[in-house]
Structure 1
Amino acid sequence: MDKMCVVGTGSWGSALALALCKNGYKVDMWTRNQNQADEINSTRENSKFLPGVVFPDGIKISTDLESVIKDSKIVVLAVPSQAVRSVSKQIKPFIKKDQIIVDVAKGLEKGTGLRLSQVVKEELPDNEYVTLSGPSHAEEVSRYMPTTIVAASPNLKVAEIVQEAFMNPTLRVYTNPDIIGVELGGALKNIIACGAGMCDGLGYGDNTKAALMTRGITEIGRLGVAMGAHVTTFTGLSGIGDLIVTCTSMHSRNRRAGILMGQGKSLEETLDEVQMVVEGIVATEVAYKVSKDLNIDMPITNAIYSVLYQGVDPKEAVKFLMTRNKKNEMEEVVNHGFVHN
């Protein structure tokens, strides 16, 4: 039986470990918390992140990173985006060149603005790298609800290895060579989801959310193309697909955080209540700075940034978006490369 490993024991890493185990692999998971390892190994449940989901005997939790990495065909990095660099450094002494790294975080590195594939390549330049992204809540994947995701890598043969490892009757995996677009779609949709939550918290309706999502994917694509992505990627699973699920579901911690802020809570109060990493908060800061550096117009991102980091009232941010200069939708689309002239 081939072995796979998952570095991290959050909800998404746990869901993917379950998928790999279902596919017949032995799965070792790493956590730095011995109490968590003991609890999951004994109760067969990750009560903090996936309560009620039973872990099969084929999954083992350990705090010994070297033993978890050893002999694993695929090394899944399932840690928050801002921990990817430090964890990559931690596994460097143990990882072999023929092991494939699969990163499942969705974010941009604070301070550098780098995509996570760039971060990993700086620390582990000799390993093949694939990112997994798409509309996929761990709560549903862990209960084997039909889900589709994307394995992205410039090396399609490596992406196909990962596709084969994860794919089963309830988890369909597509491949895509546009790793830039897939990574940016996954990271930037969290910003829009925070905004969608704010609209919900303010009591606005379906019209508002539809407008926010539609204009949101437009500016995601605008920045993505400027950073080297292919525009069609944003019409797929890691673009509009991930945007839809993150903006509309209560499983989304980004949307939940936005709801709380729309109801008048501060950022600090919001994070205290959510009690989990909200990737869209850091992504907003990074995307705001990158868009300024590249001179890309991102009004929704600017508005959400103003709420998160400048103390602007969410209602005022919405008013700003609604009262900007008049525009022609089709001219804007053509000018920013969303259709060919």
Structure 2
Amino acid sequence: MTRTVNLQMRLVTRPRGVPQLADFAPVRAPVRRPGDGEILVCNHYLSVDPAQRGWANDEGNYSAPVPLDTPMRALAVGEVVESRSPGIGEGDFLYGWFGWQSHCTTTPDAILRRVTPSALPLSANLSLLGINGLTAYLAFNGLGKPQPGEHVLVSTAAGSVGSFVGQLARLAGCRAVGLTSSAEKAALARERYGYADMIDYRSENDLPAAIRRACPDGNDIFFDNTGGAIADAAIRSMRRSGRMIQCGTASIASWSPPPTGLRPEREVLTRRLHWAGFIIFDHVAAFPEAADELTRLALSGALVYDEDVLLGLEQAPAALAGLYEGRNRGKPIIRLEAAT
């Protein structure tokens, strides 16, 4: 192991709502050699995810002290360059909690999945085979239980999760309608991701009416990544015994104070809805099998994926902020210079 400098991106202030560039600072730190039971990973690709707002510390507590001595908590794909842990060898590629940094010295507990070599590029392990593709596959099939001929509504339909849900719905024989934030993304979702119809919610003055037009027969499944006003409108399109999958709340900038909106209880009761939350990290044991199936679908041409790869650790904060502004075109991924 010849590298001695670890490039890191650290929080310098606790974000209030959507993280901004000023909340982060690059730091050069020594690379720590692994002790007994540890591994040293050289990161090749770093993930950028909206859920990172809640990963700043393990409890997602925004009032906690800023962890100035650690890099931003994040998922990454990297190569083991030194190992003192049985069963993990130098040259192994891993997907796990390796942070926004060039190197990570950690224990095997940080590993979410071993990377299986395939014809797909290494970066696919942060998009198709990362938490985005895995969330879509496991949540849609596990909680949605789709049946041929059913109707599916998806928020952030052109996003890094929604783009897969539309395709999986089509493969299951369902009719999928998506919501997105621009006409450009709506066209992309129709042409590339298998959506039968799309709604550009920013151009609609009456979102419930737009959903009724696009979904005249109602919906059996609502796959929600936003919450807020979109969820308020979508719940009123649900058919009896429909399934609502809550995978994210991206439209809510802050939960303090708690936001207010329409009350959903009556809709849940009278429509006999099943409304369940999905956290991907509750399902780590299912990752290898799901990743194998997603790989098969991609290599067969049945599933496509898009990535927005940016070069250099310094790009990470802007990429995170850009997610909330809808500026990304595909899954945001940071490629480190060492991987070029």
Give your verdict on TM over 0.5: no
- More helix per residue: 1
Larger RCO (CA within 8 A; separation ≥ 6): 2
TM-score, length basis structure 2: 0.33
